[in-house]
Structure 1
Amino acid sequence: MKKMLFSTVFTIMGLAALTAQDIKIGANGGVNLSTLQPDLTDPATRTSFHLGGMVEIPLVDALYLQPELLYSSQGVKDKSDDDEVIKLDYLSLPVMVKYYVWDALSVEVGPQFGILLSAKREDNGETEDIKDITKSTDIGFALGLGYKLNNGLNFGARFYLGSDVNDIEEDSDKIKNRVFQISVGYFF
């Protein structure tokens, strides 16, 4: 995982050096609507947030590479027990390929790598650390739409499908992150 992350960052920096004059740097943040599937007997969406930075690197014509570095709070709630919540916090690196369909509207797709920062289960006011039974990485695929105004303000909607986060060897259940993100950002 570390080699893949290092290779990705090194490649992005190399591309950035080639097109330095047209690179746009920005910040974004927004709402996460997340769940783990399958998990609890009666899962409900957990509402949380993501926040970070992004770089838009032109490749050819309307095609761009957009790596991001985000803090992303995810997890799930139990619909039948409002007090039970699983909270998973990640440092995420989505590497999106953006294609501008029209001047301002883009379609984006790409891999996302996540490093687990914390994992907690809260129930009836008590908190349990579950990091030892949660995988330390989450690798998945993201797909979304973006809209960028001429003044640098941009909006996005993205759906992320993650990998199995269950790290209990004798448990064969695959528990996967599912996150819908709505974001607002600004390119400087």
Structure 2
Amino acid sequence: MKKVLLSAVAIFAFGFANAQETKFGIKAGLNMANLSGDIDDTSMKAGLHVGAFAEIKISDKFAVQPEVLFSMQGAKVDGGDYAFNYLNIPVMAKFFVTEQFSLEAGPQIGFLMSAKANPDEGDSVDVKEFLTSTDFGLNVGLGYDFTENFTAGLRYNLGLSNISDEDNGDIKNNVFSVSVGYKF
């Protein structure tokens, strides 16, 4: 954990030292989340994400974009759903194909804030103790700047780590996101 945080600080320090331009912004959007691995009969669950970002331009064609996002994830299952809330920190490398259109990729670490199993009938059950506290993933996506301030993006997060804290399963988060943002 310390190595991840130190690496993130080093990236930010390098980016700010060599940056041509830095813009800060806010973003929000829709998540379509699911779980994969040793879990059967799941389907996508809609949720939201909201947070802040910094776009650090290294050159005309390349930028680094660290983000901090509250993200609603989980999956629908027969008879209810799983609702997981994460604080996600992706660090995206952005390559600008044109002045407005970018390709994005980068790692993400997520910190589990809450986890509930919600049956169709009955009270929700806290299942956080059965999940790991951190999640690692790889993001790939597209970005488009409509104006200097307004932006939109499509992103897929492929879960790389097992979020099950039980010995009998390997379960991963997978999230497709659509977002809009405003750069200051």
- Give the TM-score range, shorter chain: over 0.9
TM-score of the aligned structures, taking structure 1 as reference length = 0.91
Match of 1:183 among 171, 179, 182: 179
Determine if contact 1:96/1:110 at 8 Å carries over to the other structure. Answer: yes
1:6/1:40 CA distance change after superposition, 3 Å: closer
Gaps of 5+ in 2: none
Note the C-alpha offset of 1:95.
0.3
Matches within 5 A, 1:133-144: 133-144=130-141
| Whole-angstrom CA distance in 2 between matches of 1:101 and 1:43 | 36
| Whole-angstrom CA distance in 2 between matches of 1:122 and 1:146 | 34
DSSP 3-state at the match of 2:40: coil
- Tell me which residue corresponds to 1:25: 24
Note the C-alpha offset of 1:8.
3.4
Does residue 128 of the first structure (1) align with residue 125 of the second (2)?
yes
Note the C-alpha offset of 1:153.
0.3
Gaps of 5+ in 1: none
What do residues 1-23 of structure 1 show as CA deviations (whole Å, max 9, x unaligned)?
2x134213412431353146610
Note the C-alpha offset of 1:129.
0.8
| Matched positions, count | 182
DSSP 3-state at the match of 1:135: coil
Code of the aligned partner of 2:147: N
| Whole-angstrom CA distance in 2 between matches of 1:5 and 1:91 | 15
| Whole-angstrom CA distance in 1 between matches of 2:155 and 2:113 | 22
Determine if contact 2:86/2:114 at 8 Å carries over to the other structure. Answer: yes
| Whole-angstrom CA distance in 1 between matches of 2:76 and 2:65 | 31
DSSP 3-state at the match of 1:112: strand
Note the C-alpha offset of 1:43.
1.1
1:147/1:133 CA distance change after superposition, 3 Å: same
Match of 2:86 among 70, 90, 98: 90
Code of the aligned partner of 1:44: S
| Whole-angstrom CA distance in 1 between matches of 2:20 and 2:94 | 18
Matches within 5 A, 1:1-188: 1=1, 3-19=2-18, 22-38=21-37, 40-78=39-77, 80-81=78-79, 84-123=80-119, 124-162=121-159, 163-169=161-167, 171=168, 173-188=169-184
Which stretch of structure 1 is more off in the superposition, 101-110 or 4-13?
Answer: 4-13
TM-score of the aligned structures, taking structure 2 as reference length = 0.93
Task: Show structure 1 runs of 4+ deviating over 2 A.
Answer: 38-41
Code of the aligned partner of 1:164: N
